[in-house]
Amino acid sequence: MGKLVLITGATAGIGEATAVIFAANGCDLILTGRRAPRLAKIKKHLESKYKIKVTTLSFDVSSLKECESMVNENKKMLSNLDVLINNAGLAAGIEATQEAHIEDWEVMIDTNIKGLLYMTRLILPMMIKKNSGHIVNLGSVAGRWTYPRGGVYCATKAAVLAITEGIRMDLVGKPIRVTNVSPGMVETEFSLVRLKDAEKAKAVYKQIKPLSAVDVAETIFWCVERPPHVNIQEVIMFPTEQVSAGHVIREAK
């Protein structure tokens, strides 16, 4: 494929799995995240296994100042970017609205919405100048179907869907593609970050075979490798045993 791909939130889970599949297909990578040692380890592994170049940039996408500094310091490299994958995101807390911690809301809004917007706003003008590019946003089935005790998280992913559609409309007539990938249950660090309890996080995936990070990464790659005249607008993917955002068929295994 030979593209230059930037992946936010690449230190684990879907972001890391996506880095692996693009590396395996000959793409140079720009991997970002807050855990610099983790990024360095992934870089070493991918560069030793594949004939590609990996650049790591450790910063917080929820900080406009840090995003601006990153772009300003790497404009030459970023001017050649082919694909931006806005993967960084999280859920925090499962309390009812009247009991929720406002700090959790702020973290989700700042990362899932504002971080995605900051990166897109800073990168997109360079893609327009280059006259090519592809933006892939990681949404969620929660962006279409709300569930109890998840209203704010669901709202952030509904925003991702609306923003994706809005960007696509704003780019009409330009050869830049925009895609929203919305998975259901994926077994990553997601539940651990949300619940802050290893046992509770493990129970989320009990008696079900959830999607894996690789499943989602392969879907992202498939969207990007379509011919230039094909834009995959949105992909919704569930594990077979999940039938809606809040309905999972669990069986003893």
Axis-axis angle for helices 13-24, 36-49 (nearest 10): 20
Phi, psi of 234, deg, nearest 5: -155, 140
HSE (side-chain half, CA atoms, 13 Å) at 55: 12
Annotated catalytic residue 153: yes
12 with 189: CB under 8 angstroms?
A: yes
Q: d(Cα 116, Cα 90) in Å, to the nearest integer?
A: 12
Phi, psi values for residue 225, rounded to 5° = -85, 0
Out of 118, 147, 153, 205, which one is annotated catalytic? 153
Sign of the CA dihedral 239, 87, 155, 233? Answer: negative
For residue 76, give Cα distances in angstroms to 48, 54, 72, 73. Answer: 25, 15, 9, 8
Name the token pair of 97. 């609205």
* 138 class by beta-carbon count within 10 Å (0-12 exposed, 13-18 middle, 19+ buried): buried
Rounded Cα–Cα distance for residues 177 and 132 (Å): 8
Q: Which residues are catalytic?
A: 153
